[in-house]
Chains A and B, each alone.
Chain A
Amino acid sequence: MFPCKEFQAVVLAAGGGSRMTELTRGQYKCLLPIGNLPMLWYPLQLLERVGFKEAIVIIAESMERNVSLALNDLNLKIKTDIVAVKNAEDLGTADSIRLIHEKIYTDFLVISCDLITDVDICEILNLYRKHNASITALMLPAPKVSDDFITPGPKNKQKPETDLIGICNETGRLIFLASASDFEETIEISQPFLKKYPSFTMHSRLMDSHLYVINKWILNFLVQNKNFTTLKGELLPYIVRKQFSKPPKQYVDDKNTSIVQTNSKDAIYRFAIEKPLDELIRKMSAYNDHDTDLEDTYHGDIIRCYAYVGDGKFGLRANTIQMYHLANTKISEWWNNDNNEQPSVPIIAPTATIRSTQIQDCRVDNNALIEEKTSLKHTHIGPHVTVESKTRISQSVLMESAIVKQRCIIQNCILGSGCIIEEGTELKDCIVGYKQVVPPGSQYSREVLTDADDLIVI
């Protein structure tokens, strides 16, 4: 009966995985397997669980066929509307949202395809509804990487990026959002800011999980302002900063002033308008979100950003190799802890042939063949993989159609799709690239084995 829904879901899957180029050579980032399911399955599952019946998935044009096939295989109940964008490498997240703005007619939820979490979205939506927020973001505790966890591939000198997230203690509002790399040694906080929010916590161990519930007017604002390219990097900090500004005294659409003269600082208030009775209701209601000063509820702010901290829930963004590998390692532990219903995908696919007798804590996908006298521990085995006898594989990920010949020892590696590991190789903490053939009898440790020329993103 109602044409308009309350929320629409948008999944951003067009990314090329710029921080995991070794892996994205053979497979698009959103289809990389975690626990034998493509990465894209996890956010879609999350949406399906809370009750979304359809979602818009933004992908790069080149991925279209593969993604459609993969989604068909997954048998998800949620309907996906796949939107392919050209030149995905040049577009940022905000740009792609701007491209599909005509499809969006109400408040919407943006999830990045690399978000693996089990948080209950209902809580975030409720927080958004309660306060008529402009944006509500999900913050998850940054996943703890134990010291003995070794990422396959060469030692990474890259420090993981930390976000600085300031959340007001009393009201839960998000008042500061920046990346640690934006600052050299000091962070400046103005005195009016402290007066307004006398008690807030600056978190450095929280991660911005790139799950945002965004109000429609922000989309309108985004469409008008083409200088925002990314959500997390540019749009969100801008909106968070704008909470602090005061709306101009009387923002009436004065027809006498020409468009050129409008002050760009106040331009946002052209979009952030409240419904006429909202102010009256706020005045009459006995609610105040803070009691530290004499100000009205919400300090009279029209733009309000909230952050929901998912305490005690696991979550990570699998956008670096380290995180991706961590996800694979922990996925069985995490995903079944909370799952009350049946896992829709059996741990060991019925079409797989397993002749081995020592399989421990593994997931085996369709049509895999595992010969006898093999020992597999904590490994994810993709479809059509062949593992010949007398091999020992532990803590690894074998992607589609990988072939491991006899007498190999593979530990803590990621084997890309179509690769062939010849007999007698020993691989420790390595990444083997797409369709790479590792010559027999070789021994590698902490290396990336690909053709050097091929380290470009597809």
Chain B
Amino acid sequence: MTNKKGNISEKSREEIKAEREAKKAAKAHAKAKAKSTKIPDKDPLNNNKSPSSDSIKNRTSNDTPETVTNKNIESSNKISVITKTSNTCEKDEKVVSEVSSEGKSKAELRAERRAKQEAQRAAKQQILSEKNKNKIKEENTNNNNNSNNNNKPATHTIDIVKNVSPKKTPKVNIHEINLFKHLYHERKQAIVNVPFVNSNIHPAIIRLGAQYANKIIVGSNARCVAFLAGVKQLIQDFERPPQADFIRGFEANLQESVAYLHHCRPLAVSMHNALKHLKWQMTQFSSSLSDVDVKNKLSNAIDTYIREQIELADKAISITIQTKISNGDVILTYGYSSLIHKILLDAHTAAKEFRVIVVDGRPWLEGKEQLRRLAKHGIECSYILINALSYIMPEVSKVFLGAHAILANGSVMSRVGTAQVALMARAFNIPVLVACETHKSCERVQTDSIVYNELGNADELAQDYGNGAQKSLLTNWRTKKFLNLLNIVYDVTPANLVTAVVTELAILPCTSVPVILRIKPSEI
């Protein structure tokens, strides 16, 4: 470096100008050469190049002080530039290598090749690449920059280059919490590569996936019904491939669709059960049925499932639970549950006098929707966030909660925050009722909320809810190495915190729900 600096002071203005002109000429030559690489009049050009390259070399020294600051930033950029050009003109490389001989170093040859390649790029990149070319030549000739070593192998394969750039940057913290690593891993396993448009998957399923991923369809029942509606569409449009059984072919297609939906958002327990039911139905069909018949039967099975397991069950639960709502009650509910909404609506229609307290939790804030719907019907409601729960609890006479699933040991899996509400209610000796249809029961046994759960988007926690014009302080949380944000979607309420579970068959203690399933006509 210091030598070069000495060089600068020695040269005169005229010499520098002359060098610049020579460089321009060399550039033009290089371009012309690139166009006519196959024409065997390279040698004279090559000869022209060598003195010019020397002058260029000296010129680079002038540029060094200016460009040294930019070097590191642009280095990775440059490397990718090099690889691109090397790929496009690999043929040229091979041709040129035969021609050039003499005592030139490999580095200089490569530099010339690169110069030719870059001359074919767009005008703007030529300007950039000038600077880059200078850097490359300088580095190659200097041989004291470690990026040089990376350059040489890098020009041969893209992959190495891609590894080079991350190697240079410090190890980035991926912000995964150790305790939940299994959930992150599961998400990575579930990735399905599907072309964005017109893929193998039925459009209704693709649409459903987009709606799940963007939280347009939220809620266990809603997701289940939407899933079944999508599958119905799938059935209608399914065409049996020749020489294949309808059921087998359809099952395979259904499997693909389910994998895609799982990739968009992990399947709900209600969806799993609906799918199981459907598969069981399919096994019941005899193989002699025609395609149209099978389609009709399946559609009917789906309609029956929705009607019986969801709509009628909801009605039955609502009727059963009406007896538990007396005049003057203050009912507390958490978040949004379509079933609880229906129950409260029916009670209000039956002219019972009660008021509702809706508890809400970030980041989903589903309670707002519950509040809106209840208020629209004229029910007297209050709204609090979950941190005010202990303040409001002495006023409450009953707690009604919805559920995402009931597990085999009687625990209730529901939106995160539900366990908190149940615990608080128990502390104040207030009865807790969970309203849940039997189709949401799950054979899993979970004692805590960690072993199986769904991870939400951590950035949602960093947002200030509402239309705040101010940026949240957490917006750049990823830049802080030791800060992790965790957004968990569900939690598990242990059975001893729940006074009763209301299903369409009966009001039961939490532990007896699996018994109901044992005696219900089993489908598996």
Task: Let me know if A6 is at the binding interface, CB within 8 A.
Answer: yes
Give the complex CA separation of A22 and B201 in angstroms.
48
A287 & B369 in contact (Cβ 8 Å cutoff): yes
Give the complex CA separation of A352 and B238 in angstroms.
53
Interface string of A351-371 (1 = CB under 8 A from B): 011110111111000000000
B197 & A51 in contact (Cβ 8 Å cutoff): yes
Q: Say which residue of B123, B338, B375 sits within 8 Å of A378 (CB atoms).
A: B123
Assess A347 versus B122: contact at CB under 8 Å? Given A1-B239, A129-B206, A287-B218.
Answer: yes
B200 & A277 in contact (Cβ 8 Å cutoff): no
A5 & B203 in contact (Cβ 8 Å cutoff): yes
Dominant secondary structure of chain A at its interface with chain B: loop
In chain A, residues 262-304, which have Cβ atoms closer than 8 Å to a Cβ of chain B?
A: 275, 277-278, 280-281, 283-288, 291, 294
B372 & A294 in contact (Cβ 8 Å cutoff): yes
In chain B, residues 313-368, which have Cβ atoms closer than 8 Å to a Cβ of chain A?
A: 335-336, 338, 364, 366, 368
Task: Report the stretch among B222-230, B274-282, B384-392, B477-485 that lies at the interface.
Answer: B222-230
Task: Let me know if A193 is at the binding interface, CB within 8 A.
Answer: no
A281 & B226 in contact (Cβ 8 Å cutoff): yes
In chain A, residues 53-106, which have Cβ atoms closer than 8 Å to a Cβ of chain B?
A: 53, 106
Task: Let me know if A52 is at the binding interface, CB within 8 A.
Answer: yes
B219 & A6 in contact (Cβ 8 Å cutoff): no
B198 & A7 in contact (Cβ 8 Å cutoff): yes
Task: Let me know if B20 is at the binding interface, CB within 8 A.
Answer: no
Q: How far is the CB of B245 from chain A (nearest CB, A)?
A: 14
Greatest chain A CB density within 10 A among B31, B126, B196, B335 is at B196
Give every chain B residue within 8 A of A354 (Cβ-Cβ).
31-32, 35
B229 (CB) vs chain A CBs: closest residue: A277
A1 & B203 in contact (Cβ 8 Å cutoff): no
Task: Report the stretch among B96-104, B169-177, B208-216, B290-298 that lies at the interface.
Answer: B208-216
B223 (CB) vs chain A CBs: closest residue: A285
Give every chain B residue within 8 A of A53 (Cβ-Cβ).
198
Give every chain A residue within 8 A of B338 (Cβ-Cβ).
283-286
Assess A52 versus B372: contact at CB under 8 Å? Given A336-B125, A378-B123.
Answer: no
Give every chain A residue within 8 A of B219 (Cβ-Cβ).
284-286
Give every chain B residue within 8 A of A52 (Cβ-Cβ).
197-198
B366 & A286 in contact (Cβ 8 Å cutoff): yes
Question: What is the total number of residues of chain B having a CB less than 8 Å from a CB of chain A?
Answer: 59
Q: How far is the CB of B402 from chain A (nearest CB, A)?
A: 10
Task: Let me know if A181 is at the binding interface, CB within 8 A.
Answer: no
Assess A6 versus B197: contact at CB under 8 Å? Given A129-B211, A332-B124, A347-B122.
Answer: yes
Task: Let me know if B376 is at the binding interface, CB within 8 A.
Answer: yes
Give the complex CA separation of A287 and B366 in angstroms.
8
Give the complex CA separation of A285 and B84 in angstroms.
49
Task: Let me know if B195 is at the binding interface, CB within 8 A.
Answer: yes
Assess A280 versus B225: contact at CB under 8 Å? Given A336-B124, A347-B121.
Answer: yes
B35 & A350 in contact (Cβ 8 Å cutoff): yes
Assess A51 versus B198: contact at CB under 8 Å? Given A2-B239, A284-B225, A348-B120.
Answer: yes
Give every chain A residue within 8 A of B211 (Cβ-Cβ).
129-130
Q: How far is the CB of A369 from chain B (nearest CB, A)?
A: 12
A125 & B197 in contact (Cβ 8 Å cutoff): yes
Interface string of A101-126 (1 = CB under 8 A from B): 00000110000000000000010011
Greatest chain B CB density within 10 A among A285, A288, A352 is at A285
Interface string of B365-403 (1 = CB under 8 A from A): 010111010011000000000000000000000000000
Give every chain A residue within 8 A of B370 (Cβ-Cβ).
286
In chain A, residues 341-399, which have Cβ atoms closer than 8 Å to a Cβ of chain B?
A: 342-343, 346-348, 350, 352-355, 357-362, 378
Q: Say which residue of A3, A122, A286 sits within 8 Å of B196 (CB atoms).
A: A122
Assess A348 versus B376: contact at CB under 8 Å? Given A2-B237, A285-B217, A332-B123.
Answer: no
Give every chain A residue within 8 A of B335 (Cβ-Cβ).
286
Give every chain A residue within 8 A of B216 (Cβ-Cβ).
130-131, 285, 287
Q: Say which residue of A285, A332, A357 sits within 8 Å of B28 (CB atoms).
A: A357
Task: Let me know if B253 is at the binding interface, CB within 8 A.
Answer: yes
Give every chain B residue within 8 A of A285 (Cβ-Cβ).
216-219, 222-223, 226, 338
Known A277-B228, A348-B120; 17 more pairs at CB < 8 Å: A5-B203, A7-B198, A52-B198, A53-B198, A130-B211, A130-B214, A130-B216, A280-B225, A281-B225, A284-B222, A285-B222, A332-B124, A342-B84, A343-B122, A348-B35, A358-B28, A361-B126
9 examples of A-B residue contacts, CB within 8 angstroms: A1-B253, A2-B202, A3-B239, A6-B197, A283-B338, A284-B222, A286-B338, A294-B372, A361-B124
